[in-house]
Structure 1
Amino acid sequence: MTTAAQVIKTRLPNPPPPADVLLQHVRNAVEELKAKDVVEIDVRGKTSVTDHLVIASGTSTRHVKSIADEVVKHAKKLDCMPLGVEGEREAEWVLVDLGDVVVHVMLPRVREFYALERLWTVGDQPPEEEDALIAGRE
């Protein structure tokens, strides 16, 4: 007596969207909810964790949470589930990890205190004094 073998159909997961497509959707999301002082930082070569950081400010904790929620909503439209969302309860700093793009939405005072832009751009541009010294030597 033979029995028919059961075939389990597997489906490969959808590949994540390209970083530039994901980044454009993040831009659209933060723009749609009027985030303040949006900065994008290319961190390829500085970290293996992500390729791009997007840092934005909200005017209140409710605004910060709404911006982060909109980022998640736009990512889901691309069939991209966030790897993690942190800080939603307090909503002073919400981090949305989308893999190739990590989004930080912060209250202005929190953003000023942690100064992520300075942390991730140190060494990208030489100080003006060094430029003057180099120019004087030539």
Structure 2
Amino acid sequence: MQTNELLDFALDKIDDMKARDVITLDVRESSDITDYMVVCSGNSKRQVQSIARHLAKEAKEHNLDVIGQEGQDVGEWVLVDLGEVIVHVMQDETRDFYQLEKLWG
């Protein structure tokens, strides 16, 4: 799957679970780790966990590599690493505190 297709796939799957305030950051010029970061919000711990779980499950069902998943047990910030695309699913308070958009934007 091409990088743009992977990005579209991730955006579609987090939209399935009603992720809010979705921002896509093109970090190809500033990162050797990934090409795109997606930052989105969930309304609660349960929704953050559900968004990330759904994305990882769908990726595996489509034979995509899920390189890592962190934070699922806490649910304040869950990271799903799909290689060229890394998705950060956060509660509002955590997102406001870390301000990834400003750091990477």
After TM superposition, the score normalised by the length of structure 1 is: 0.74
1:23 aligns with 2:7: yes
Aligned equivalent of 2:52: 68
Residue 97 (structure 2) aligned to one of 104, 107, 113: 113
- Residue 76 of structure 1 and its aligned partner are, at CA, apart by 1.7
CA distance in 2: counterparts of 1:65 and 1:78, whole angstroms: 20
Structure 1, residues 35-81: CA drift from partner, whole Å, max 9, x if none? 11000000001010000000000000000000001111221233112
Per-residue CA shift, 1:110-130, capped at 9, x if unaligned?
A: 000000000001xxxxxxxxx
Equivalent residue letter for 2:10: V
Taking CA–CA contacts closer than 8 Å with sequence separation of 6 or more, which of the two structures ends up with the larger relative contact order? 2
Question: Of the candidates 58, 64, 69, which is equivalent to residue 80 of structure 1?
Answer: 64
- Matches of 1:112 and 1:68, distance apart in 2: 19
Q: Which has the larger radius of gyration?
A: 1
2:23, 2:61 → 1: CA distance? 23
Q: Which has the higher strand share?
A: 2
Unpaired segments ≥5 residues, structure 1: 1-16, 122-138
The residue matched to 2:53 in structure 1 has which SS?
Answer: helix
Alignment partners' CA distance in 2, 1:93 and 1:19: 24
